[in-house]
């Protein structure tokens, strides 16, 4: 679990009345029981519409999580645990999104800013053209 997620869950835990070990992480706010799935889906759809986002199934959030984790290089066994898959074969659907060490290095290299030699300014061709250097601004 990332530090960010752990911190958010800790803040959530401190605000809820349902804080026993056997309680749900996201319970119904009054009963402490499971949230009503149909009401949750309706609220989710309303939030998507209010944010002018395209309709996405709630379950697709789970696949998005798995895909992003695999793309970030999370080991498949770790992802299997996080997603609660009993069989690693289920988790391996995300393996296509997991970069090899070589691919990851190539992508990082391709999108890294060019290295500057000490004492150099901006790389050639990357200076902002203002027109003020030549004296004919806007021309």
Within 10 angstroms of residue 91's Cβ, the number of other Cβ atoms is: 22
The pLDDT-based confidence of 110 (bands split at 50, 70, 90) is confident
Please give the residue that has the higher pLDDT: either 22 or 1: 22
The ranges assigned to domains in the chain are: 15-56, 59-108
**Among the listed residues 121, 119, 138, the one whose alpha carbon sits nearest the alpha carbon of residue 129:** 138
Residue 96: Cβ within 10 Å count? 9
Cβ pair 91, 85 in contact under 8 A = yes
pLDDT of the residue at 137: 47
Across 7-28, b (16+ Cβ under 10 Å) vs e yields eeeeeeeeeeebeeeeeeeeee
pLDDT digit string, tens, across residues 62-103: 999 999 899 888 999 999 999 999 999 999 999 888 877 787
pTM equals 0.57
pLDDT at position 134 is 46
> What is the pLDDT, as a whole number, of residue 42?
93
């Amino acid at each position: 679990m990332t530090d960010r997620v752990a911190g958010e869950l800790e803040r959530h835990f401190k605000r809820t009345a349902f804080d026993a070990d056997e309680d749900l992480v996201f319970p119904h706010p009054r009963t402490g029981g499971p949230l009503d799935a149909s009401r949750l889906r309706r609220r989710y759809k309303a939030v998507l519409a209010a944010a002018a986002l395209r309709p996405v199934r709630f379950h697709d959030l789970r696949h998005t999580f798995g895909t992003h984790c695999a793309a970030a290089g999370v080991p498949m066994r770790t992802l299997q645990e996080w997603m609660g898959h009993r069989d690693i074969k289920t988790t391996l659907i995300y393996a296509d999104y997991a970069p090899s060490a070589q691919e990851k290095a190539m992508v990082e290299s391709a999108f890294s800013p060019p290295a500057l030699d000490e004492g150099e300014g901006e790389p050639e061709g990357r200076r902002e053209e203002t027109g003020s250097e030549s004296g004919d601004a806007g021309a």
